[in-house]
Amino acid sequence: MPSTLTIEQLAYQTLQKGKAAFSLAHKTLAGRIGSLFYPAPEGKYRRVPDEAIDIARQRLDRVLETDWNDVDRGIYPASLLFDDAWQDFLSSYPMVWLDMPLIWDRLHREEYRDFATNIDTEGYPKYYLRNFHYQTDGYLSDRSADIYDLQVELLFNGAADAMRRRVLAPLKAGLQAFTDVPPKDIRVLDVACGTGRTLRFLRGMLPKAALFGMDLSPAYLRKATQLLSAVPGNLPQLLQGNAEELPYRDSYFHGVTCVFTFHELPPTARSRIIRECFRVLQPGGVFVICDSLQKDDVPELEPMMHNFQTAFHEPYFIDYIRDDITERMTDAGFVDVAIETHFMSKYWIARKP
Ligand SMILES: C[S@@+](CC[C@H](N)C(=O)[O-])C[C@H]1O[C@@H](n2cnc3c(N)ncnc32)[C@H](O)[C@@H]1O
C-alpha cells in the first residue's frame, strides 16, 4: 500500500533528522564543556572545512536514502528502520553524561590503560586491554556495554545502525549461492558482535536462519543476550572468544559479517581474523566487513578522521585507514572482493571459492 509506505518513509526521515540534530547539539555542548575544563593544546585537532561538513551531510542523506531503498526493494522489513538504540535513551543518556568527565580526564592525561581492580583483565590479548574511546572499563563492564550503542549513535549523528544495515543487502545477495539450502539451515555468524545490533538486523532479514555471534567481551555479550531476547525471534547462539581463533569448525557458515571492529585491531590480528573467517565459511560462502572509511576514499574527510583518532583513543586507526584489506582478503583465499562506501563506512564483500 503506497500511502502506508509514504507515511513510514516520512516517519523514518523525521526520526533520523531528529537524531542528527540532537547528536550535533550533544557533541557541540559536550565539546564546549570539555574544553572549558581541559582546553586542547594548539594544533591537537584539525579544523574541519565547511566543504567537508557539506560532503558528510550529503553522505548522511544518501545512506538514509539507501536504507529506505533497501526496504523498498524487499531486502528487509521497514520495521528494522525503527529498531533502534534510542529506545533506551532515557536510561542511557544520563549515563553517557556521567561518564563524560571521566573520559575527558583520561583524554587529558592520555591514560588508556585505566581498569578498576574489580575488572578481570586475565586472558585478553594485550592490544584489547585499553580504554578504546577513553571509555570507562574499555569493553569490560556492564556499565560500558549499557551506554556503548547510544555513544556510537551520537558519534554518527544517528546513522550507526543505518551503516550496520548496509551489510544486509550484500549478505543476502551472497546467500543466493545457497538457494538449495532450506532457510532454517542457513547459518550466519557475526564476528565481534558487541551488543548484538547487527544480529538483530540479521534476524529481521533472515528470521528462520540460524544466527551466531561471538565477541571477546563477556559484558557486551550479556548486553547482546538482553537486547536479542527483548523482542520475539530465534535467539542467536552467542559465544565468548577471540576471533583470531574462532570457536567453530571448518566450513560451517554460509555467511559471515564483521562490523566496526577492524579499525580497533593491529594488522596481524586483522589478517588472522580474516583467515579464520575464511576457514569457517563454506565454499561459496559470503563474507562482509563493515568499518570506517579509509584515507583515500573521501580525502576531504581526512580532518574528521584525524580528530576521531585523537579524541577517541583509537591506536590502530592510522594504520587501518592505510591498510590494504582487499590484499589481506585475497591472501587468505577470498575471491571477487567488491567494495562499497556509505556515509562514514566502507564495506568489503567477498566470496570463498
Ligand atoms: C567497536 S566494537 C563493534 C561492536 C559491534 N560489531 C558493533 O557493530 O557495534 C568492537 C568489538 O570488537 C570486539 N573485539 C575486539 N577484538 C576482538 C577479538 N580479537 N575477538 C573478538 N572480539 C573482539 C570488542 O569486544 C567489541 O565488542
Residues 308-343: tens digit of each pLDDT: 888 888 889 999 999 999 999 999 999 999 999 999
Q: Which residue has the cell 549478505?
A: 171
CA distance 95 to 100: 9
CA distances from 350 to 28, 78, 176, 289, 353 (A): 39, 27, 14, 9, 9
What global pTM score does this model have?
0.95
Q: Which of 212, 216, 221 to mutate to test the pocket of ligand 1 (most atoms within 8 A of CB)?
A: 216
Q: How far is the CA of 220 from the centre of ligand 1 (A)?
A: 9
- Torsion over CA: 188, 186, 68, 70 (sign): positive
What number is the average pLDDT over the span 133-157? 92
Asked if 311 and 55 touch (Cβ cutoff 8 Å), the reply is no
Q: Tell me the pLDDT tens digit for each residue of 191-214.
A: 999 999 999 999 999 999 999 999
First to last CA, the chain: 41
Ligand 1, atom nearest to 263 Cα:
1
Residue 113 pLDDT > 90? no
CA distance 304 to 27: 14
Residue 39 pLDDT > 90? no
Closest residue by Cα to atom 13, ligand 1, is 192
DSSP characters for 1-23? -HHHHHHHHHHHHHHHHHHHHHH
Residues with CB under 6 A from ligand 1: 128, 139, 164, 192-194, 197-198, 215-217, 220, 242-244, 259-261, 264, 269
Establish how many alpha carbons lie within 13 A of residue 225's alpha carbon, considering only the half-sphere containing its beta carbon.
Answer: 12
Higher pLDDT, 250 or 44: 250
Q: Tell me the pLDDT tens digit for each residue of 244-300.
A: 999 999 999 999 999 999 999 999 999 999 999 999 999 999 999 999 999 999 999
For the chain, the average pLDDT equals 93
Asked if 314 and 263 touch (Cβ cutoff 8 Å), the reply is yes
Q: How far is the CA of 293 from the centre of ligand 1 (A)?
A: 17
Domain topology for 169-301+314-351: Rossmann fold (3.40.50)
Ligand 1, atom nearest to 265 Cα:
16
CA distance 294 to 303: 12
The full set of domain ranges for the chain reads 169-301+314-351
- In the chain, pLDDT over 90 holds for what percent of residues? 75
AA letter at 16: Q
Look at residues 219, 308, 291, 307 and name the one whose alpha carbon lies nearest to residue 257. Answer: 291
pLDDT category of residue 4 using cuts at 50, 70 and 90: low
Q: Tell me the pLDDT tens digit for each residue of 48-99.
A: 889 999 999 999 999 999 999 999 999 999 999 998 778 888 888 999 999 9
- At residue 306, the pLDDT reads 87
- At residue 107, the pLDDT reads 85
Ligand 1, atom nearest to 242 Cα:
20
CA distance 288 to 35: 39
Residue 5 pLDDT > 70? no
Q: Output phi, psi for 18, to 5 deg.
A: -65, -45
Q: Cell numbers of 5, please?
A: 509506505
Q: How far is the CA of 10 from the centre of ligand 1 (A)?
A: 33
- At residue 1, the pLDDT reads 42
- At residue 116, the pLDDT reads 84
- At residue 244, the pLDDT reads 98
- At residue 353, the pLDDT reads 98
Q: Centre a 10 Å sphere on the Cβ of residue 110 and count the other Cβ atoms it contains.
A: 8
